[in-house]
């Protein structure tokens, strides 16, 4: 099984990469996908699973974060269309996805868009994540 991590240079993405690489015997390869997925279509096409963690959670301008994170999920879907790949998509979120703010709103919108994009989709809520 080949797992691609979109956002592998982030705090949780890096630790997921390390865990899958060094601890999971069922995983044949773990790919740190390029930030610009259109430059990494060959690797993306080879993935059985793509874990989407390429969203920012902090910043001064909430509206800008909202737009960037909506675009991040759309970029994944566009790149998968370009390379005609249909991996399982795993989307990570936190318990704050239910909050009535822009963070919760983009998480819920991205889940809705990804569910519409593929039937092979799951999201994981990761509780108690506060950063490094």
Look at residue 128 in the predicted model and tell me its pLDDT: 77
4 near 87, Cβ under 8 Å?
yes
pLDDT by residue for the chain (132 residues), tens digit each?
A: 999 999 998 888 999 999 999 999 999 999 999 989 999 999 999 999 999 998 877 667 778 888 988 999 999 999 999 999 999 999 998 877 888 888 888 889 999 999 999 999 999 988 876 655
Q: pTM to 2 decimals?
A: 0.89
Look at residue 77 in the predicted model and tell me its pLDDT: 97
């Amino acid at each position: 099984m080949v797992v691609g991590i979109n956002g592998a240079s982030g705090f949780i993405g890096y630790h997921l990469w390390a865990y899958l690489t060094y601890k999971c015997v069922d995983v044949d390869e773990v790919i740190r996908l390029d930030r610009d997925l259109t430059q990494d279509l060959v690797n993306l096409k080879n993935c059985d699973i793509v874990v989407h963690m390429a969203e920012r959670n902090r910043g001064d301008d909430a509206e800008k974060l909202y737009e960037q994170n909506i675009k991040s999920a759309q970029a994944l879907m566009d790149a998968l269309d370009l390379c005609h790949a249909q991996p399982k998509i795993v989307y990570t979120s936190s318990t704050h996805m239910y909050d009535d703010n822009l963070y919760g709103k983009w998480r819920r919108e991205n889940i809705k868009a990804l569910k519409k994009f593929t039937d092979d989709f799951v999201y994981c809520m990761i509780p108690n994540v506060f950063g490094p």
